[in-house]
């Protein structure tokens, strides 16, 4: 009888430990799927590419004509801004400051087909002031620590001439990525560039690089 009781007690302890381990394993799995602190190395998640601005959300799939309508700007005026045209190509890469040249919140870039008179798609935006924030609340003049707290400490990074440091959400200058430029003296963000279709646009223009 005592032996039977002892065996039952041992079995109970084994089952209890097993349940405890199973619970711990489940908790670990749950924390690794926490999207709020996920570091994305190759492609930024769709929600990270969204930028709230006034009453609209700029994102990867927004129609450029709709964006023009929502922001209430004149496309004809846009066409007089800085542009990059490649000989023999019908596509034109436009870049303009919004809402105006003197006091811009951001730079907007898009591709236009001159043959069909068609706005193709949004290439990307560059955030210039703290009026515009990323979807995780990071903006111009935020410090490096806030950036790493929002996007994780394992971001891809690089430096140049000891003046600037870069962090990437996504892959370097590839499509679907965010590029943060940090001033090495102040350790603050001075520029945020979001690429939606930069590589795609370079393919359309049949060029290997374009500084714009």
State pTM to two decimals: 0.74
Q: Would you say 90 and 183 are in contact if contact means Cβ atoms under 8 Å apart?
A: no
Distance in angstroms (rounded) separating the CA atoms of residues 205 and 114: 12
23 — phi, psi (to 5°)?
A: -65, -45
Print pLDDT tens along the chain (212 aa).
444 434 443 434 333 344 333 232 222 222 223 333 344 444 688 889 999 998 899 998 898 888 888 888 766 666 666 676 766 678 888 888 888 888 899 999 988 888 888 888 999 999 999 999 999 999 999 999 999 999 998 888 888 777 899 898 886 557 889 999 999 999 999 999 999 998 888 888 887 655 54
Distance in angstroms (rounded) separating the CA atoms of residues 212 and 106: 13
């Amino acid at each position: 009888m005592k032996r039977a009781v002892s065996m039952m007690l041992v079995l109970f302890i084994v089952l209890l430990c097993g349940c405890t381990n199973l619970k711990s394993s489940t908790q670990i799995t749950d924390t690794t799927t926490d999207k709020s602190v996920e570091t994305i190395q190759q492609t930024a998640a769709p929600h990270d590419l969204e930028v709230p601005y006034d009453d609209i959300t700029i994102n990867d799939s927004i129609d450029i004509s709709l964006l023009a309508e929502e922001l209430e700007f004149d496309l004809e005026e846009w066409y007089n801004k800085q542009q990059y045209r490649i000989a023999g190509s019908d596509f034109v890469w436009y870049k303009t400051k919004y809402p105006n040249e003197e006091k811009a919140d951001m730079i907007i870039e898009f591709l236009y087909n001159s043959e069909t008179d068609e706005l193709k798609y949004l290439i990307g935006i560059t955030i210039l002031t703290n009026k515009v924030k990323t979807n995780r609340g990071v903006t111009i003049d935020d410090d490096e620590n806030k950036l790493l707290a929002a996007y994780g400490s394992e971001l891809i990074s690089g430096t140049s001439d000891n003046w600037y440091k870069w962090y990437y959400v996504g892959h370097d200058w590839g499509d679907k990525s965010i590029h943060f430029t940090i001033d090495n003296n102040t350790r603050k963000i001075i520029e945020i560039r979001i690429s939606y279709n930069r590589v795609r646009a370079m393919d359309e223009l049949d060029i290997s690089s374009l500084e714009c």
